[in-house]
Structure 1
């Protein structure tokens, strides 16, 4: 059986189970993540020959070189007649290849299909600024920003440039012209891709992940001259996004960076996937902060502890804390008590709210407090 036939067999089973990830490890049977559980699939144990065939078949020469150099590499590919897209990582363990593959949406999903709040749809057509979608690994950040790109493509006429590692969703030009560059294939690295991006006259730049000071400086510079920059970042909360960004820079530069950033925040959001009551499918909860006057002043004054209350006060603008989002999912009977409390950063407060005991429900003054 060739590599694609083997992947077709394994991934077909993952799809039928409504799973998310496929795990291939030499000497073990293939496994799939279904909901929050990793379950065995009804196939023979994976062989060294099969994982090597996947490496030879799925990776391009640049990716193979990176695998040998870094002992791990990201990749993406299409399979099945319906052109289902997958994202994967191949890495060495015990001197053999292991493979993890995540199933992506077959078609570019709509905001409704993804259960993304309308506030994020509305800011997708902003003309300039910085949009950062945070979350931990595997929480759907890339899917969310691609849904935003898809909405821009349908509702505006602009040039969108994406810089990704790897490309997970392929966009077809509609109202916009979209150029998608993959690191390792179309550019050597993020630094070189960003260096020449300004000469490519983009209106919107999507950077797959905000990784370092260089990429963030570019985002600031681009937003200052009227471009919209969209990216992802690893963070568990909106407040932690600031910690991550400032951590890119020496302490002596942090106040200057923060001051510049405050004027160009369009939206910072954090996404968390929670297992639904069926135990198999996932639903997202979003913490959302929009760049209004109060938020920008709090950022300039480094009053990050006051941001959660600012989000609660501005619920009418589409802002919300993570616990607000989790509570709404629980209230709508989408998720169980257990999953709600497990997902919360403040489970004791959330539990009181679930029992009808309001916690900090009143509007509280933020500035001048």
Structure 2
């Protein structure tokens, strides 16, 4: 860590001492920062006015030493990354999402935005290789779900919990095993897939299509077998996803919810009250599974491990969804081990028992401490 702090201090000093030019070019200090972040296996870089450069490593923020970033520093680092269209979006919407590549450090996803009237950014490092279900330490039951040919699989969890990596692994699993037409709709495209047994198209919102909703409506006329919708942000996209799942497609998508019960309520509550009964009916028919995920620090610098709640849409689960008994879903999950289900607390307990995470870490990330303790010796 001392070496990291020294290197970060040197590149921040280089950034602050460099002179600006009339022609904006990507600064050597930004290149150095991207390479350093990749070498340190950081997940994110945060660039904020009034703070040194910050790296997130194993889920924890690590502040660099040296001079703090100024407004000019941030402009010099960030503006050369933007195309003319992205710069216009930044000025119009005060924020822009995009991906970019670096010859040595790999691919990155960035969000450049304004705060306190100045530029700021969050830059995420994207792994060079498409992850697999096994490499992400995900339960084998998820592989069996990806063998299904029709229905809706929802991946949920907070920002930064690994949803994008998990969905990339799902797509790669199908791509490597089946002859399918897979279409992904993403904002932005993060993992760049290549054709294996399947044919893959990747549509980027804002570049190839104006919105998720319009892309989902259009994709039904493009003869897909599998559709990935990066995020269901509005009722129009949700309705289109449900229709696609009902009409013979496997649909994968994500939501920012913490568990299966919240997920069902979020979807239904996105629609007017007069339509909610119909949406519950559609949801009960289309749903295959809800997977809620969070990343948990491992023991002894071992990285991060996913803790997951898995709800498989059995007949009993579908009946609860249809009749609006979302509060009873958790009891179905806790007793559904034979169908591949598990609660978040059960998943955390398994990670403790396999010596991947500590007991204290599990308790810090659980939803029901008393229940978690009942699973632990």
TM > 0.5 fold call:
yes
Task: Determine which of 326, 329, 340 is the counterpart of 1:318.
Answer: 340
The Cα shift of 1:59 comes to 2.0
What SS does structure 2 have at the residue aligned with 1:289?
strand
Match of 2:9 in 1: none
CA–CA distance in 2 between the matches of 1:316 and 1:352? 20
The Cα shift of 1:169 comes to 0.4
The Cα shift of 1:280 comes to 6.7
Q: Deviations over 1:49-72 (max 9, x none)?
A: 342234432222332222111111
Match of 2:212 in 1: 190
CA–CA distance in 1 between the matches of 2:75 and 2:302? 31
What SS does structure 2 have at the residue aligned with 1:320?
coil
* Structure with larger RCO (C-alpha < 8 A, sep 6+): 1
Tell me if 1:122 matches 2:144: yes
Match of 1:307 in 2: 329
Tell me if 1:60 matches 2:102: no
Match of 1:6 in 2: 29
The Cα shift of 1:325 comes to 0.4
What SS does structure 1 have at the residue aligned with 2:283?
helix
User: Aligned residue pairs: how many?
Assistant: 354
Tell me if 1:278 matches 2:303: no
Task: Determine which of 250, 253, 261 is the counterpart of 2:275.
Answer: 253
After TM superposition, list the pairs within 5 Å mapping 1:36-55 onto structure 2: 36-42=59-65, 44-55=67-78
Tell me if 1:168 matches 2:190: yes
After TM superposition, list the pairs within 5 Å mapping 1:105-120 onto structure 2: 105-120=127-142
Match of 1:290 in 2: 312
What SS does structure 1 have at the residue aligned with 2:195?
coil
Change (3 A) 1:238 1:80: same
Match of 1:236 in 2: 258
Q: Cα RMSD (Å) of the superposition? A: 1.8
Does the aligned pair in 1 maintain the 2:216–2:241 contact within 8 Å? no
CA–CA distance in 2 between the matches of 1:32 and 1:233? 26
TM-score by structure 2 length? 0.89
After TM superposition, list the pairs within 5 Å mapping 1:142-157 onto structure 2: 142-157=164-179
Tell me if 1:215 matches 2:224: no
After TM superposition, list the pairs within 5 Å mapping 1:336-351 onto structure 2: 336-351=358-373
Task: Determine which of 82, 89, 99 is the counterpart of 1:76.
Answer: 99
Q: Please, which runs of 5 or more residues in structure 2 have no aligned partner? A: 1-17, 19-24
The Cα shift of 1:217 comes to 0.6
Does the aligned pair in 2 maintain the 1:129–1:226 contact within 8 Å? yes
Does the aligned pair in 2 maintain the 1:8–1:80 contact within 8 Å? no
The Cα shift of 1:153 comes to 0.5
Q: Deviations over 1:171-227 (max 9, x none)?
A: 001111111111111112223222321221111111110111100110111112101
Q: Please, which runs of 5 or more residues in structure 1 have no aligned partner? A: 357-369
CA–CA distance in 2 between the matches of 1:187 and 1:116? 32
The Cα shift of 1:28 comes to 2.5
What SS does structure 1 have at the residue aligned with 2:258?
coil
Q: Deviations over 1:13-40 (max 9, x none)?
A: 2233332111112342211112342112
